[in-house]
Structure 1
Amino acid sequence: MPDTTGLRPIESEMLTAATKETAVRHGFFTREGGVSSGFYAGLNVGMGSDDDAGDVEENRRRVGAWFGVGADRLVTSFQVHSPHAVVAREPFKGEKPRADAVVTDTPGLVVGIVTADCAPILFTDAEAGIVAAAHAGWRGALGGIVEATVEAMEGLGADRERIAGCIGPAIGPDAYEVGSDFRERFADADPEFEAFFSPARDEAHAMFDLPGFLAHRLAEAGVRADTVDRCTYADEARFYSYRRMTHRGEPDYGRQISAIGIMED
């Protein structure tokens, strides 16, 4: 049995309350409790990284074991910063689908997404027995990954009035500096999106509030929402960060996982 004693996943009080007395379990995993080393040190689950493949596999086994399932029952997609959600009722065979949200109603299947500054969002309609995990970088957030995930859950029988969604650890508004072109994309989509930008030291740039923007999208979708207020860039001890890696000129970076599943009796 893989060692799970060092794992320190963050759990949302709102999701925990929403799934009380049900078999749904969730966790926003940190880099704590893994076997990777170097700048991957910890629980790196990024299969696209250049980390030792055996270490990544062991880290995924540990996450699966925390849920009480094998690593083969921990289902993730090939993330491409899209607004696409897929349904999984069994582990994917062969090439993984290119999508940024995975939805399931199958007990014993844990759906997850990996991040390193982008926002993870975990969803549940516990009454219907439907859960989802979504990956929301700025492209997916603007393009509609929240809405696509909710619609996919509804396709399985969820009711959006019962859906709860929690935004997990992501790059915070004090660390996410963007250029004018980036800001214009949002303003062109909806002038009200200007509310999620604030001044940066460089007058040609701005700071973007990704978690705040996603909370807005969840509210607009009619989903009650919660946010885990943790900045992946600022907290190196607990989180991997793509932007921190680029600022340091490191050659690669790890990824943390956020996952949710309906446990079997």
Structure 2
Amino acid sequence: MCANRCPKALADRVEVLTHVALAGVAHGFCGRRGGVSTGDHAGLNVGWGSDDDRAAIAENRARAVAAVLPGAALVCAYQVHSSDVVTVTAPWAEDDRPRADALVTDRAGVLLGILTADCAPVLFHDAQAGVVGAAHAGWKGALGGVTDTTIAAMEALGARRADIAAVVGPCIAQKSYEVDDAFERRFVEADAANARFFRAGRAGHSWFDLEGYVVERLRAAGVGTVAMLGEDTYAQPDRFFSYRRATHRGEPGYGREIALIGLPDSNA
């Protein structure tokens, strides 16, 4: 039985992190373990935007789906760091992905996917209404309210925010996320209370708690159950991809991990 978080190792070694708050629905936060990509993208890289072999990316995506909800149709957006959300009524082709950073659905057999490489993936579920959601919360989308628009879109499908469980997955931790004063000012000017998510650093810089900020946005929105995994993508190169780590190391490319959630198809 899982505690607050539990790695689930499959026969093909895909690592899937789950949380008891979402125990009633198929879901998982995949890292980089268990994939077929090599080099800078080694592992379970699922990002079409990366400079990786397309056949390897396709295989990695298939492995991720099989590890979380076998037979489901994977649906992802073209993520642009916005607060835009799309309600999914049917799968679409990869070439037709809408530009958005959150997806919601009440349709069985659809597996919502959010790609990250330091940004915070957030998975949502209202077990009473049978509605799920997934959001890509980088700092820009988080500040712009991507979690709020996701909740509103779920409500339009019959969810109640008091019945929603939301879990923030692996993302860059405060100890790894140094930002400059201009970055901090954006948040403090939006709400003076946001100063609590910054810890003073060297002159002209501070350390930002993205995970804590997203968690507080969810709580302030009235989400019934809010949890986080507390996994730092930057500090665990063997488990997670990280844009910032790749940049600091001068690596030419980086992979993307995927967070997944979906309602099983009872007819499958």
Length-normalised TM-score, structure 2: 0.93
Tell me the percent identity. 49
**C-alpha spacing 1:127/1:4, structure 2 compared with 1 (3 Å):** farther
1:25 alignment partner in structure 2: 26
Deviation, 1:95, is 2.0
- Counterpart CA distance in 1 for 2:161 and 2:132 is 12
State the AA in 2 paired with 1:149. T
CA contact (8 A) 1:171 1:233 kept: yes
SS in 2 for 1:49: coil
Give the alignment of 1:134-149 within 5 angstroms.
134-149=135-150
Give the alignment of 1:39-188 within 5 angstroms.
39-66=40-67, 67-69=69-71, 73-93=73-93, 94-188=95-189
2:14 alignment partner in structure 1: 7
SS in 2 for 1:43: coil
- Counterpart CA distance in 2 for 1:169 and 1:65 is 20
- Cα displacement string for residues 67-94 of structure 1 (whole angstroms, at most 9, x for unaligned residues): 1125xx1100000000111011211244
State the AA in 1 paired with 2:86. V
2:265 alignment partner in structure 1: 264
Deviation, 1:5, is 2.3
Deviation, 1:127, is 1.5
SS in 2 for 1:89: coil
State the AA in 2 paired with 1:83. S
- Counterpart CA distance in 1 for 2:149 and 2:253 is 30
Deviation, 1:159, is 0.7
- Counterpart CA distance in 1 for 2:150 and 2:92 is 18
Deviation, 1:251, is 1.1
- Counterpart CA distance in 2 for 1:170 and 1:69 is 28
- Cα displacement string for residues 203-232 of structure 1 (whole angstroms, at most 9, x for unaligned residues): 210000000000110001101200001000
- Counterpart CA distance in 2 for 1:169 and 1:6 is 18
Deviation, 1:39, is 1.2
CA contact (8 A) 1:4 1:65 kept: no
1:222 alignment partner in structure 2: 222
Let me know the Cα RMSD of the aligned residues.
Answer: 1.1
Paired positions, count = 254
2:249 alignment partner in structure 1: 248
CA contact (8 A) 1:4 1:33 kept: no
State the AA in 1 paired with 2:138. G
CA contact (8 A) 2:40 2:252 kept: no
Deviation, 1:61, is 0.8
Deviation, 1:4, is 5.9
- Cα displacement string for residues 240-264 of structure 1 (whole angstroms, at most 9, x for unaligned residues): 0000000011111000000000011
SS in 2 for 1:161: helix
CA contact (8 A) 1:31 1:239 kept: yes
SS in 2 for 1:134: strand
- Counterpart CA distance in 1 for 2:162 and 2:198 is 29
State the AA in 2 paired with 1:6. R
CA contact (8 A) 1:125 1:162 kept: yes
- Counterpart CA distance in 1 for 2:130 and 2:165 is 12
CA contact (8 A) 1:83 1:145 kept: yes
Q: Which runs of 5+ in 1 are unaligned?
A: none
- Cα displacement string for residues 115-142 of structure 1 (whole angstroms, at most 9, x for unaligned residues): 0000000000011110011000000000
- Counterpart CA distance in 2 for 1:190 and 1:209 is 15
